Amino acid sequence: MSEKSDSFARLHRPGDPLFLPNAWDFVSAAVLVQAGYEAIGTTSLGVAAAAGKPDAAGATRQETLALATLLARLPVLLTVDIEAGFSDVPAEVAAFAVELVSVGVVGINLEDGRPDGTLSSKEDHCAKVAAVKSLAPDLYLNARSDAFWLAGTHGQPAMNEALERSAAYVAAGADGIYIPGIAGNEVKELSSAVDAPLNVLYLPGKDTFAELATAGAGRVSTGSLLVRATLQTIVETARRAWRQEVVPDPARPTYHQVESLLADG
Amino acid sequence: MSEKSDSFARLHRPGDPLFLPNAWDFVSAAVLVQAGYEAIGTTSLGVAAAAGKPDAAGATRQETLALATLLARLPVLLTVDIEAGFSDVPAEVAAFAVELVSVGVVGINLEDGRPDGTLSSKEDHCAKVAAVKSLAPDLYLNARSDAFWLAGTHGQPAMNEALERSAAYVAAGADGIYIPGIAGNEVKELSSAVDAPLNVLYLPGKDTFAELATAGAGRVSTGSLLVRATLQTIVETARRAWRQEVVPDPARPTYHQVESLLADG
C-alpha cells in the first residue's frame, strides 16, 4: 500500500474512529483542512447540488473527477464518494478508480443503492468491489450498503441484508464497510459482526460521536450534513439582513481570509 | 428593453430598494429562489472560492458563464458579477455581455477595480460601459467603482473619486452605480448626487436595510456575505458533531428537501 493510503487506512480504529467531514467544492474543503482535519471526504449530494444535477443518479462523474483533481492539491488525505461508480460495468468502475488514484485520491465510497431506490444484487456489487481492488489495490475501498438507507427498509430484514452484504463485500476485497442510517444497537451489532472498520453516518439528535466510538465505529462521517447546514445559513442570513434582524457571529471569515484560502489558486 | 430587463430595472427604487442576495452555485441560488426573492445576483468571491481560483483576478470567465447558464433556468431575474469583464478590451467585454444575455441574464456588475488593487482609468471603464450598452442595450448595467473598496482609499478623496466616476459611468450609459464599502452619510451623499439608482453593499453591524433605504439606496446586495457565512457554518457544524456538542436547528433542510431542489436537474 502507498504511504498515503496506509496512513488513511490506519485512521480507521474501531472504538477510536476517524471523524470525517464531507466537502463538495474547493472552499468547503479548504476551510475543513484549515480547521485541522487529517482526512476529508466528498458528499455526492453536495456535488450534485452545486452542479444542479440529481444525486445518486450517476449524473456527476465529470464533476466528481474535477472536484477530486481540485481537492487533491490540498494537504489532506482525500476520499471520494463515487455513488455506484457511474457505471454498471465493473471494469469501467475500476478504470474510474484508477483515474482517481492518479490525481492523488486515497479512498472511495462505492454504494449498492441504485437511482430507482432499489439495491443492486450482492453479486453485482461484489464484482465492482473486486474489479476496483484488482486495478487499484492501494485505494481504501469503503463499500457502502444502502440496506438501511433506502426507503421502506427497516428492522431485522435490513439488518440481515446489511450483515450478509457486509460479509460478501469484505470477502470481495473491501477495506471498510459503510452502512448509513444505523444508530444505537444497530451500530454495536454491525461493528461486532463485520470483519472490517465500520463507517457510520453521523445523525444529529441520535448517537453522539463518543457513543458511536463506544459502539465500535471505525469511521464517522457527516455525509450531506454540512452542505445542508449551509443552505439553512444562506436563507437565514439573507432573511436577517433583509428583515433588519441582527446578522450574528463575528467568527464569520472576512473577505481577505477567504481570499487567503485561494492564494495558491 | 426586454420585458424581463424592464422588470428588473423597475425593482431599483431609490428609497425603497431591491434587496439582492448573491449566490455562487446552483443550490445556493435555488434555496434563495425558493425563499421567494424576485431577483438574485452572483458573487465573484463565491464563484472563485468554489472553483479554487483567486477572486477579482479575471480568472473565472468560464465558471461565470457556466454558472449563469445553470442559474438562468431558475424562475428568477438574474444579474451576474463579471468582475472587470475578464478583458481589457471593451469589445471583448461587450461580447461576453452578449453571451450572458443569450442565456437569459438581465443584468451585470462591471467593476473598475483591477487585480493589482488599483483602479483602471475612468476613461477605460467608460469605454467598457459604452461598448456593453452598445451591443447589449437591454442588459441592466450596474457600473461598480471600487473608489472606497480598495485598500488605502478613504474619506474625501474616495468620495470625490466616486462622485466623478459615477457621473462619468452614467454618462457612458450605465443603468445603475455600485459603490461597495460606503455607509451612513456617504450613502446619502452619493445617492443624492448620482443620477441613477445607487447599489450599496450590506455590511453587518453598519446600516440596516431600512437605514440604507432612508439614505436613498436603490439596491442593497449581500456580496460575499452569504458564502462567508456558510464557511463558518461548515467549520462550526463539523466541530460540534465531532466535539459532541449539540448540532442545532431543526430548520436545516433534509436530504429529500435538497433533492427536490434538484428535481428538474
At B82-141, the pLDDT tens digits run 999 999 999 999 999 999 999 999 999 999 999 888 999 999 999 999 999 999 999 999
CB B168 within 8 A of CB B147: no
Report the distance separating Cα A133 and Cα A156, nearest Å. 31
CB crowding A127-153: b at 16 or more within 10 Å, else e: bbbbbbbebbebbbbbbbbbbbbbeeb
Residue B49 neighbours by CB under 8 Å, 6+ apart: A25, A26, A27, A30, A258, A261, A262, B24, B55, B227
Does the pLDDT of residue A152 top 80, yes or no?
Answer: no
Chain A nearest C-alpha distance from B264 (Å): 8
- Give the residue with greater pLDDT, A42 vs B243: A42
pLDDT mean over A70-77:
95
Q: What is the dihedral of CA A131, A136, A137, A138, to 10 degrees?
A: -150
A245 in contact with B, Cβ within 8 Å:
no
B134 in contact with A, Cβ within 8 Å:
no
B70 in contact with A, Cβ within 8 Å:
yes
- Give the residue with greater pLDDT, B14 vs B58: B14
CB B13 within 8 A of CB B176: no
Residue B93: other Cβ atoms inside 10 A: 23
> Full-prediction pTM beyond 0.90?
yes
Does the pLDDT of residue B254 top 80, yes or no?
Answer: no
- Give the residue with greater pLDDT, B265 vs B101: B101
Q: Which of B16, B27, B42 to mutate to test the interface with A (most CBs of A within 10 A)?
A: B27
Q: What are phi and psi of A111, to 5 degrees?
A: -105, 155
Report the distance separating Cα B6 and Cα B209, nearest Å. 24
Mind giving me the DSSP string for A12-24?
Answer: --TTSPEEE-EE-
Percentage of the residues of chain B whose pLDDT score is greater than 70: 94
Report the distance separating Cα B57 and Cα B157, nearest Å. 25
User: What is residue A249's predicted lDDT score, i.e. its pLDDT?
Assistant: 57
A7-46 residues touching B, CB cutoff 8 A: 19, 21, 23, 25-28, 30-32, 34-35, 37, 45
Report the distance separating Cα B92 and Cα A195, nearest Å. 61
The answer to whether the Cβ–Cβ distance between A210 and B30 falls below 8 Å is no
Q: Is B222 exposed, middle or buried (0-12, 13-18, 19+ CB in 10 A)?
A: buried
A237 in contact with B, Cβ within 8 Å:
yes
> Residues B126-180: pLDDT tens digits?
999 999 999 999 999 999 999 998 856 667 889 999 999 999 999 999 999 999 9
A44-63 residues touching B, CB cutoff 8 A: 45, 48-55, 59
Least CA distance to A43: which residue of chain B? Answer: B255
Nearest to B19 by CA among B200, B145, B262: B200
Cell numbers standing for residue A6: 496506509
* ipTM of predicted assembly, 2 dp: 0.93
CB B53 within 8 A of CB B59: yes
Coil/strand/helix, residue A168:
helix
Q: Could you tell me where the beta strands, DSSP code E, fall in chain A?
A: 18-20, 22-23, 39-42, 77-81, 107-111, 140-144, 176-178, 198-201, 219-221
B245 in contact with A, Cβ within 8 Å:
no
Nearest to A17 by CA among A142, A149, A160: A142
| A41, β-bridge pairs | A22, A79
The answer to whether the Cβ–Cβ distance between A228 and B252 falls below 8 Å is yes
Cell numbers standing for residue A116: 430507482
Distances (CA, A) of B133 to A34, B24, B101, B122, B171: 43, 25, 12, 16, 12
The answer to whether the Cβ–Cβ distance between B49 and A225 falls below 8 Å is no
Chain B nearest C-alpha distance from A209 (Å): 6
